[in-house]
Amino acid sequence: MPKLQPDQVHNFIVHTCQALGSEPLEAELVADQLVDANLAGHDSHGVGMLPSYVDGVVNGRLRINSHPTVVVDGGALLTLDGNAGFGQVNGHEAMSMGMERASEHGVAVVGLRNSYHIGRIGHWAEQCAAGGFASLHLVNVIGHPPLVAAYGGAEARFGTNPFCAAVPGRDGRPGFLLDMATSIIAGGKARVAANKGVKVPPNTIIDVDGNLTDDPNAFWYTDPTGKRGGALVAFGDHKGSGLAIMCELLSAALLGGETAHPKNPRDGRIINNMLSIIIDPAATGEAEAFFDEIELFRDFVLESRLRSDCDQILVPGQPEQIAREERAGGFDVDPVTLEQLRASASRAGLEAEEITALIGDA
């Protein structure tokens, strides 16, 4: 598969967003997060998302150059409306406001509703950790048909509804970072697998007949009316399903946002709602003792003997760290995704010669 350089992809995204009309900072924030997702090993939330953003702008579902507005200001509690603007802008500004309030009050509860796709949630936890803050994030997704079946069901009823948490380390990086969908695999991973022509892990998808499968195309299948037939499987049976439902209610309904209920519009948008709790460790006790305990606990976990069928132990955040080291010199983009990127750039208004100069020949 073609290997692209991070700077090359970043430049391509910036030019595509600016062709849509994005101001320079907005284009940079979008490019920063998408490229970082690829570098962190999460291709499902990387540059492959750009075509859906272009489609959102062209069809008037995604508002460029928009910023979140304050709906409720209760000091340590903020509710923001993302106004269907770029999630990369909404998330960045919401976390910045949250950290400012957490510095003042010790803790901040920030609700962000009605934002266009906010991408890899770990990006926002990393932003908080870089500022020295611990954080929790619960997210739902609406706008397109539901993706994940409730435990025991064969039909999708909610999104992949991520949960994320991070604690800061001394170096401004997360001491630990847990970022996970509440489905076994993210919808984007099924998209990447389908584009590559490979299988997904066994029993992660439910086909139209209610059978478990490893065929990513069974998830994307739609009937003549456009209704999706397949569904993703929640992780941990009833546990992941239950956590996804609580994400739906706490990150959306609690904030005045919309849940995946079919009475809410499904017009092809990718709308996220996110509830974030941001904590200043210095406000809870001795910050240095907190950092000491993180490091001692990390060592204790990693020094364990290995299980007989495993060859390593990884703590939350290590997979992303390893991926960044391995992908620093570039990352693979499959030919199908690459062609989708070229088509989306053309749709945004870039000329064929400029697209070739930015991302290469077909």
CB contact at 8 A, 217 and 336:
no
Global pTM value: 0.93
In angstroms, the Cα distances linking 334 to 43, 209, 262, 339 are: 11, 30, 34, 9
Residue 168, H or E segment: strand 163-168
pLDDT tens digits for range 217-243: 888 766 666 566 789 999 999 999 999
Interval 161-199: pLDDT, tens = 999 999 999 877 779 999 999 999 988 788 888 888 999
Please compute the mean of the pLDDT values over residues 76-87 and round it to a whole number.
Answer: 98
Judge whether 142 and 159 are in contact, CB under 8 Å: yes
Contact 80, 88 (CB under 8 A): no
DSSP structure class, residue 234 = B
Tell me the mean pLDDT in the region 313-338: 94
CATH code for residues 3-179+186-285+335-359 = 3.30.1370.60
Average confidence (pLDDT) over 126-134: 96
- Where exactly are the structural domains of the chain? 3-179+186-285+335-359
CA distance 5 to 21: 25
Whether the CA torsion 216, 218, 224, 228 is positive or negative: it is: negative
Q: What is the pLDDT of residues 197-212, one digit of tens each?
A: 999 999 999 998 999 9
